[in-house]
Amino acid sequence: MKAYNVTLIPGDGTGPEVTEAAKRILEATGITFHWDLAYAGASARDRFGTPTPEALFESIRKNKVTLKGPVTTPVGSGFRSVNVTLRQELDLYACLRPCKIYPDVSTPFKDVDIVVVRENTEDLYSGIEFEKGKPETKKLIELVLATKGEAVRPDSSVSLKVISETCSRRIVKFAFDYARTHQRQKVTAVHKANIMKFSDGLFLATAKEVAKDYPDIEFEDVIVDALCMQLVRSPSQFDVLVLPNLYGDIVSDLCAGLTGGLGVAPGANLGDDIAVFEAIHGSAPRYAGQNKVNPIAMMLSGVMMLRHLGETKTADRVEKAIAEVIAEGKSVTYDLKLNIANAQVVGTSQVADAVIKKLEESDKQ
Ligand code: NAD
């Protein structure tokens, strides 16, 4: 069996607990992983004086595959968001977030199986911001008045929403290629082009153009507010959604909520040759060290990593084991009490024990 070199970022808050649980079930498959430990976020700042040390980028670039726990971006410290920095520096332009309901999870809808493809590098997350009262902000406000004739209040802060044709094209293409290779029927481009005619308008026009190259896949577009309304009324009409960064961030949490919450929502950040697998949720610092939060989102991110590595059969086996543990409801964390009748609540590491037991049982069959 092959061995893989993988960068492992334990993360902050509850990150080390959920990554340890995911690491344990991945190792229980029999595949050998050489984990290259790297630090990001508050734990990196404490060790190296920066939340994004050079060693972190070196490890990710060298190994190409990373399993990442959630990190805390120190608030008010002047540091840029660690996640935005990673995605931009490594050009991890596609954020892939599959949202599906596992058997016996009680949710308002039975048949949600949506893949959210979020653009990861630009839009309002470009990081180009102008702070109220700064000389450059004043200059910008003067430029807007001189070129557009529009008066921006002098006490404004401004964040730039940047949408390029290049990044729109590659993310929409990614969504269509994903649909084609994963037997999906439809891609829906999400936008607000009726208001933001140039930024979202460019995203939409580019999406329509790319769609012409994929006549085998149905294409539609929908305005983001209408999408949210339709998602909470009849989500099964959607298949693959492709969205600019901000809408993608919000809508993927909404879709996670439709399928059992943040505790079961995995994700991947993908570039042309680098892949970082991480749950949607954050570091939930108030639960740190309590062996409490749900490791399943992180485990399912590990399943996505196995698929990326070409270990499809093992990925299926692990996903089945996780689905069985959820369906039994005897070893689940507190958050799934909402979704599972008579759930027996255990801690983070006990969920990993239960999944490993299922894997061992499946080995014997
Ligand atoms: P959060 O996702 O950490 O927590 C919000 C709430 O969701 C928690 O209080 C908890 O009730 C629930 N939750 C989250 N993960 C859970 C799990 N595994 N199991 C069960 N319940 C879970 O979001 P936040 O409080 O807004 O952010 C906390 C920190 O995480 C911030 O510093 C933020 O910047 C960071 N963050 C990091 C990432 C990442 O690294 N990918 C993503 C989002 C937020």
Active site residue 125: yes
Q: Residue holding tokens 């492709």?
A: 242
CB-based contact 305:342 (threshold 8 Å) = no
294 close to ligand 1 (CB < 6 Angstrom): yes
CB-based contact 279:17 (threshold 8 Å) = no
- In this prediction the pTM is 0.93
What's the gap in Å between 149 CA and the centre of ligand 1?
42
Q: How far apart are CA 228 and CA 192, in angstroms?
A: 12
- Residues sharing a CB contact under 8 Å with residue 52, sequence separation 6 or more, in sequence order: 40, 44, 82, 85, 86, 89
Choice among 39, 93, 102, 125 that is catalytic: 125
Strands 65-68 and 3-9: parallel
301 close to ligand 1 (CB < 6 Angstrom): no
246 close to ligand 1 (CB < 6 Angstrom): no
pLDDT tens digit at each of 365 positions of the chain: 689 999 999 999 999 999 999 999 999 999 999 999 999 998 898 899 999 999 999 999 999 999 999 998 767 666 678 888 999 899 999 999 999 988 778 888 888 999 999 999 999 988 899 999 999 999 999 999 999 999 999 999 999 999 999 999 999 999 999 999 999 999 999 999 999 999 999 999 999 999 999 999 999 999 999 999 999 999 999 999 999 999 999 999 999 999 888 999 999 999 999 999 999 999 999 999 999 999 999 999 999 999 999 999 999 999 999 999 999 999 999 999 888 888 899 999 999 999 999 999 987 77
